[in-house]
Amino acid sequence: MTAAKTAAADAGFVEFDRVQKSYDGVSLVVKDLNLKIGKGEFLTMLGPSGSGKTTCLMMLAGFETATHGEIKLAGRNINQVPPHKRGIGMVFQNYALFPHMTVGENLAFPLEVRGIAKSDREAKVIRALDMVQMGRFAGRRPAQLSGGQQQRIALARALVFDPELVLMDEPLGALDKQLREHMQFEIKGLHDRLGITVVYVTHDQGEALTMSDRVAVFNDGVIQQLDAPAELYERPKNSFVAQFIGENNKLPGMIEALEGQKALVRLATGELIDATAVNVREKGQQTLVSIRPERVEFKPEMMPAGAHTIGAEVRDVIYMGDILRARLAVAGSDGFVMKMRNTLGQTRLAAGQKIQIGWHPQDARALDPM
């Protein structure tokens, strides 16, 4: 994030203060959530199904009520404010367009509800449709549009009344991969141009990394880590985040020695490796060593200075176009993955081949197994 957005996040345009949510009065779906979202920020709530992310969005929208705590917008408690009076734009996965209305009528409806004059409504509808390159479709009905076009209309409807905050709940989940990736850049481009605040919910970690200023990773009703995308990927703070964000190798072991941020780890098969100590605290503690597949090398000339090396056996190699993905047996595990760029003259590996692999100690992170 820029310095301005960091300061805005600290101030908190949207704020969850000790928020809890229970549906049965016993178990908590959201547990003591404290979160500030800055004005103009694009924040994504990311997590598996049942992690609490969508419940948080629904509480912010006003469709669910917090069991405990306060939700604030621009410093005002909105716990008891009905959804239609919160001034929040909303985009859903299923588009939620009125099938009996034209595109123009769909966009005019939230303006009419807010009492905006007809002449002003027409101008705002045209402007919103132009934002999403759908100006010539105003007279069509939703059924006459493709899925991608319907999603653009749903986005335009959320923006038509100039909200300062837009909530998006899995808005691209129904689109195919290529269109979904295209729409990611369109939404991010609109956010940057308009300066609106966006709170986005998804279970797709690639989507979150592509679009967000910050990502809140949820699991079991708790934010496991709140950070910029690069920080989440490069420096996960626990084993859940390391496994959930991107592909990741994990080697079980025990802390043999600790010195500041350096850990010496004895793997299950006896090998000793160096790692960066993240949330391990004492000698003898069990750990999972996290290593990203693209940080692993097998050519001596490509090994980073100070790299740790260990023996491996190739199980199989999968051609994936731009990369080659090798599955290796390492330290008793058959599921260790190494990714290599597919370059001209790339050394080919074969099943059964024994190699030495290596990585820089700073790319191996000793984490609490949780």
For Cα atoms 116, 119, 121, give the angle at the middle one, nearest 5 degrees. 50
Among 49-63, 123-137, 173-187, 322-336, where is mean pLDDT lowest?
173-187
| R_g of the chain, CA atoms, integer Å | 24
pLDDT at residue 85 greater than cutoff 70? yes
Q: What is the CATH number of the domain that holds 362?
A: 2.40.50.140
Question: Does residue 69 share a domain with residue 31?
Answer: yes
pLDDT at residue 100 greater than cutoff 80? yes
Please compute the mean of the pLDDT values over residues 342-363 and round it to a whole number.
84
Among 52-61, 169-178, 277-286, 338-347, where is mean pLDDT lowest?
338-347
Question: Does residue 253 share a domain with residue 235?
Answer: no
- The pLDDT score that the predictor gives to residue 345 is 61
pLDDT-derived band at 173 (thresholds 50, 70, 90) equals: confident
Q: Domain end: 239, 261, 287, which one? A: 239
pLDDT at residue 304 greater than cutoff 80? no
Question: Does residue 292 share a domain with residue 194?
Answer: no
pLDDT at residue 221 greater than cutoff 90? yes
Q: List Cβ neighbours of 280 (8 Å cut-off, separation of 6 or more).
A: 255, 258, 263, 287, 366, 367, 368
Write out the two tokens for 215: 């990502």
Please compute the mean of the pLDDT values over residues 65-85 and round it to a whole number.
95
CB-CB neighbours of 115 under 10 Å: 6
- The pLDDT score that the predictor gives to residue 73 is 97
Question: Does residue 217 share a domain with residue 252?
Answer: no
- The pLDDT score that the predictor gives to residue 286 is 94
Among 42-46, 114-118, 325-329, where is mean pLDDT lowest?
114-118
pLDDT mean across residues, the chain: 90
Among 3-7, 74-78, 193-197, 292-296, where is mean pLDDT lowest?
3-7
Would you say 218 and 43 are in contact if contact means Cβ atoms under 8 Å apart?
Answer: no
pLDDT at residue 4 greater than cutoff 60? no
pLDDT at residue 16 greater than cutoff 90? yes
CA dist 359 and 20 (Å) reads 42
- The pLDDT score that the predictor gives to residue 6 is 62
Question: Does residue 253 share a domain with residue 216?
Answer: no
Would you say 183 and 175 are in contact if contact means Cβ atoms under 8 Å apart?
Answer: yes
Residue 62 has, within 13 A of its CA and on its CB side, a CA count of 16
Residue 208 has, within 13 A of its CA and on its CB side, a CA count of 32
pLDDT-derived band at 197 (thresholds 50, 70, 90) equals: very high
Please compute the mean of the pLDDT values over residues 208-219 and round it to a whole number.
96
Q: Domain end: 239, 257, 284, which one? A: 239
- The pLDDT score that the predictor gives to residue 250 is 92
CA dist 125 and 34 (Å) reads 37
Question: Does residue 55 share a domain with residue 162?
Answer: yes
Question: Does residue 251 share a domain with residue 161?
Answer: no
- The pLDDT score that the predictor gives to residue 300 is 78
Q: List Cβ neighbours of 228 (8 Å cut-off, separation of 6 or more).
A: 1, 212, 213, 214, 215
Could you list the residue range(s) of the whole structural domain that residue 155 is in?
3-239
- The pLDDT score that the predictor gives to residue 180 is 86
pLDDT-derived band at 308 (thresholds 50, 70, 90) equals: confident
Question: Does residue 259 share a domain with residue 188?
Answer: no
Q: Looking at the 3D structure of the chain, how many domains does it have?
A: 2
* Type of residue numbered 321: G
Element (H, E) at 200: strand 197-202
- The pLDDT score that the predictor gives to residue 10 is 65
pLDDT-derived band at 301 (thresholds 50, 70, 90) equals: confident
